[in-house]
Copies of this chain bind each other. A is one copy, B any other.
Amino acid sequence: MRSVEQHLEQVLSAVPTPDSIELAVLDAQGLLCAEQVTSSRALPGFDQAALDGYAVRSADIAGSSPERPVELSVVGESLPGPAEPASIGPGLAHRVAAGAMLPTGADVVVPAVWTDQGAARVGVHADLAPGSYVRRAGDDLAPGDQAVGVGTPIGPAQISLLAAMGRDRVLVRPRPRVVVLCAGPELVDVGTVPSPGQVVDVNSYALAAAARDAGAEAYRAGIVPGDRRRLVELLESQLLRSDVLLLAGTFASGGFDLVQEALAELGTVQFTQVAMHPGSVQAFGRLGRDQVPIICVPGEPVAALVAFEVFVRPAIRMMLGKRQLFRRTVQAVAAETLLSPLGYRQYLHGSVMRHPDGGYVVEPVGTEHEAMLARMARSNCLIVIDEDVTEVSAGGLVTVVPMLIGS
Contact = CB atoms under 8 A, between A and B. Distances in A.
A323 B165 CA distance: 38
A326 to B, nearest CB: 11
Interface in A361-407: 370, 372-377, 379, 403, 405-407
A196 B373 contact: no
Interface residues of A, number: 95
Nearest to A255: B79
A176 interface: no
Nearest to A406: B153
Interface stretch (A3-11, A59-67, A207-215): A207-215
Contacts of A220: 26
Contact of A168 (B43, B190, B194, B377): B190
Contacts of A406: 30, 32, 153, 155, 322
A81 B184 contact: yes
A174 interface: no
A206 interface: yes
A161 B377 contact: yes
A199 B80 contact: yes
Contact of A80 (B97, B157, B250): B250
A158 interface: yes
Interface of A: 25-26, 29-30, 32, 43-46, 50, 52, 79-83, 85, 97-101, 135, 139-141, 145, 147-148, 152-161, 163-168, 184-186, 190-191, 193-203, 205-210, 212-213, 220, 250, 252-255, 299-301, 305, 308, 322-324, 370, 372-377, 379, 403, 405-407
